[in-house]
């Protein structure tokens, strides 16, 4: 039996937009996720490069893991890979239920796909300083 913690928990994953999914679906994902995440006290950031997603989710462990399972079942993306998961001391994204931004660099998320654990988390944190999270 998995012990569920009441402390903050985070998951960082990458996935690829399903070949048959139109780009317009990305906006729909972000809009709906903002509402659902707010109701579940989940915060995070979704980054999209035109082909790949990178998302960090944070909140209660039970809520984050349940959301991750729903995301795994979502047919709008494929090849979901968890890069990092674990307890989190302080939320990174308390200002929004789901921040969303695009990156122009084609290979930044592709490189992250090859990482795991702390190197993946470090690469994600390094990417944050180059993103415009105010708009």
Tens-place pLDDT, residues 84-122: 999 999 998 888 788 888 888 778 888 888 888 989 988
Q: How many beta carbons lie within 10 A of that of residue 119, not counting itself?
A: 13
Q: In whole numbers, what is the pLDDT of the chain averaged over residues?
A: 87
Q: Which two tokens stand for residue 18?
A: 């399903």
Structural domains for the chain:
8-128 (3.30.70.100)
Burial degree of 18 (CB within 10 A; 0-12, 13-18, 19+):
middle
pLDDT of residue 135: 44
In this prediction, residues 3-18 reach a mean pLDDT of 84
pLDDT of residue 131: 73
pLDDT of residue 1: 52
Higher pLDDT, 100 or 63: 63
């Amino acid at each position: 039996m998995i012990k569920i913690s009441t402390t903050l928990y985070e998951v960082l994953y990458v996935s690829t937009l399903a070949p048959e999914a139109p780009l317009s679906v990305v906006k729909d994902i972000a809009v709906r996720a903002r509402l659902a995440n707010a109701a579940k006290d989940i915060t995070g950031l979704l980054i999209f490069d035109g082909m790949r997603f990178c998302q960090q989710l944070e909140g209660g462990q039970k809520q984050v893991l349940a959301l991750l399972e729903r995301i795994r079942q979502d047919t709008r993306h494929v090849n979901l890979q968890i890069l990092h998961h674990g307890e989190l001391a302080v939320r990174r994204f308390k200002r929004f239920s789901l921040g969303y931004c695009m990156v122009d660099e084609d290979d930044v998320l592709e490189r992250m796909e090859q990482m795991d654990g702390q190197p993946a988390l470090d690469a994600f944190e390094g990417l944050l300083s180059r993103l415009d999270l105010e708009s």
